[in-house]
Structure 1
Amino acid sequence: MATWKDADVREDWAKIGARGPFVYGLTNYIAANLSANVLLAAGAGPAIGAASDWTTTFPAGASAVWINTAALMSSDEESLRAVARTAHQAGTPWVLDPVAVGAGAAGYDDFVRSLLEFRPAAIRGNASELIALAGGAATGKGVETTVDSAEAVAAVSGFAARIGTVVAVSGPVDYLTDGTRTVEVPGGDVRLTRVTGAGCALGALTAAAIFATGDAFRGAVVAHAAYAEAAERAGARTRGTGSFAVALVDELSLLAEAGTAASTAARSATSNEAKDEAGNEAA
């Protein structure tokens, strides 16, 4: 199990703000605003969209990339493939969010599966989406899951091992696996399921954390643990879904500020210790 209470989670979270990754993504226009604000709150710099030449230049120069396949609402298939292809060829870690896979649109499902050719570092989604992507029964109802996250673990664990990626299943408890290790991340707030783009934004945050930590599994765990904590804090001080969405971004930014302060304090303490040792040696 991993939570915000773990010191190593908080230390790794602070690396996002310290390193300020440039995260490029394609997502649907409904989720773009929240995704950008979540990245900014964490200390990353976002760019979103398939503007001229962006799809073949930004993935190569970015720190990390994410693709939410509902970006097809406003971008064509080749744009998404170009981003995935360029990121893969450049060695840029990228995150796949296979929105609504398994909901009955066969041609769409085939296209999403074709992106696996470009080896995403991580894949995140709800249980129905990920079971379907792994080759199981398609049970999604539009973009909503009909299966609990715990029920997806067995199916997605083998899938993760087979294609060499990290799979993160969102739900009341998040489950993250690379086929060898599986970690539970509890917490959050039910209103994450009632705010448009909340899950999509988590994919963007996962990409930033993967770059910051230098490890796909660790980055995915850190992103989910911080997101769950921010959602819990936001839920504790709000009543409705609109205020919750704003508070979620607020709380992520406050976690980032706390992480930066802790990181600065740690560096200062280390510097002071070094000075003391040097002084003792001189004496």
Structure 2
Amino acid sequence: MPDQTSPGTLLSHLRARPPLVHCITNFVAMNIAANVLLAAGASPAMVHAQEEAGEFAAIAGALTINIGTLSSGWLRGMETAAIAAGQSGKPWVLDPVAHYATGFRRAAVDRLLELGPAVIRGNASEIIALAGGASRGQGVDSRDGVEQAEESARLLARVHGATVAVTGVVDFVTNGERAARIEGGSALMPQVTALGCSLTCLVGAFVAVRPDAPFEATVAALATFAVAGETAASKADGPSSFSWRFLDALAGLDASLLDRHARLRCA
């Protein structure tokens, strides 16, 4: 019997019934995030206004919230959407971009965490700081290694009852009890603006497919990204050609190819 939570199986399910993913993301990421979701087979919607965010979150398969270009108005929309998602039983994903940089961001993330995200995805510096540790992050850039954030991720997962993903050279995912590492990707990925933000949206798409299995869905999303990144890098000459090749590689992935090339290890 095939593994019903393997990355390839979940990708097949996603494409068979494309989920509507409500993305409240930053100005920089909107275009690439929408294209990433379309290439994967999902249906993106960039809706952030408080007046409609709650209503939209209730009809979407999943919600993703990214605080990259935060404002008071957008924060009200984020909170409204997260509340509605919770009331509707819809999973949502939090990307706490550079939350440690200012008091406004710290307070915003504290409020959002209280609303119960199913998944938290960030770089190592963001996850360390979110767990109360001292990170070396500067702005949106991580200066800490993924392995340095693993215990912080486990702590966050236990405290918030969430799956936590730390992304970097080798990704780490945990729900506080189980953990996995995902290898792959490319050194060119950090050189393309907003690919990490797009990954958060892709996590939302996979969690929409399996809201009952956020750990497995998150691992599948990260594996999909890693394999597409590795494939694109094999033919790219630099960041520019990598960017469009990545979308092509993502669109060209199928279940068997993904499961054959995904490099997953229990941690």
Q: Please state if 1:198 is matched with 2:195.
A: yes
CA contact (8 A) 1:29 1:74 kept: no
Describe the shift of the 1:74–1:195 C-alpha distance in structure 2 as closer, same or farther (beyond 3 A): farther
- The 10-residue stretch of structure 1 (213-222 or 179-188) with the greater mean CA deviation from structure 2: 213-222
Q: SS of the residue aligned with 1:169? A: strand
Q: Please state if 1:56 is matched with 2:54.
A: yes
Describe the shift of the 1:21–1:240 C-alpha distance in structure 2 as closer, same or farther (beyond 3 A): same
Q: SS of the residue aligned with 2:216? A: helix
Shift of 1:54: 2.5
* Whole-angstrom distance in 1 between the partners of 2:15 and 2:52: 24
Partner of 1:209: 206
Q: Provide TM-score, normalisation by structure 2.
A: 0.90
CA contact (8 A) 1:22 1:62 kept: yes
* Whole-angstrom distance in 2 between the partners of 1:119 and 1:260: 34
Shift of 1:107: 2.4
Partner of 1:220: 218
Q: SS of the residue aligned with 1:118? A: coil
Q: Please state if 1:115 is matched with 2:126.
A: no
Q: SS of the residue aligned with 1:128? A: helix
* Whole-angstrom distance in 2 between the partners of 1:106 and 1:74: 13
* Whole-angstrom distance in 2 between the partners of 1:33 and 1:75: 21
Shift of 1:51: 4.1
Q: Provide TM-score, normalisation by structure 1.
A: 0.85
Partner of 2:123: 126
- The 10-residue stretch of structure 1 (47-56 or 180-189) with the greater mean CA deviation from structure 2: 47-56
Q: Please state if 1:22 is matched with 2:20.
A: yes
Shift of 1:213: 2.6
CA contact (8 A) 1:14 1:260 kept: no
> 1:151-170 counterparts in 2 under 5 A?
151-170=148-167
Q: SS of the residue aligned with 1:72? A: coil
CA contact (8 A) 1:101 1:140 kept: no
Q: Please state if 1:142 is matched with 2:139.
A: yes
Shift of 1:217: 0.5
Runs of 5+ consecutive residues of structure 2 not aligned to the other structure: 259-267
Shift of 1:139: 2.4
What is the CA deviation profile of residues 124-180 of structure 1, one whole-angstrom value per residue up to 9, with x for unaligned ones? 010000111111114211100010011100111011011100000001000000010
Amino acid in the other structure paired with 1:84: A
Shift of 1:243: 1.2
Q: SS of the residue aligned with 1:20? A: coil
What is the CA deviation profile of residues 187-229 of structure 1, one whole-angstrom value per residue up to 9, with x for unaligned ones? 1001111111100000000011011133110110000001000
Q: Please state if 1:173 is matched with 2:170.
A: yes
User: Where has structure 1 moved over 4 Å in runs of 4 or more?
Assistant: none
Aligned-pair identity in percent equals 39
Q: Please state if 1:83 is matched with 2:90.
A: no
2:186 to 186, 189, 194: 189
1:105 to 87, 102, 116: 102
* Whole-angstrom distance in 2 between the partners of 1:55 and 1:16: 23
Partner of 2:235: 237
Describe the shift of the 1:250–1:105 C-alpha distance in structure 2 as closer, same or farther (beyond 3 A): same
Q: Please state if 1:259 is matched with 2:250.
A: no
> 1:68-79 counterparts in 2 under 5 A?
68-72=66-70, 75-79=73-77
Q: SS of the residue aligned with 1:65? A: strand
Describe the shift of the 1:260–1:33 C-alpha distance in structure 2 as closer, same or farther (beyond 3 A): farther
What is the CA deviation profile of residues 229-269 of structure 1, one whole-angstrom value per residue up to 9, with x for unaligned ones? 000000001111111111111111111xx33999xxxxxxx
- The 10-residue stretch of structure 1 (48-57 or 22-31) with the greater mean CA deviation from structure 2: 48-57
* Whole-angstrom distance in 2 between the partners of 1:81 and 1:260: 39
Equivalenced residue count is 254
Partner of 1:37: 35
* Whole-angstrom distance in 2 between the partners of 1:260 and 1:183: 20
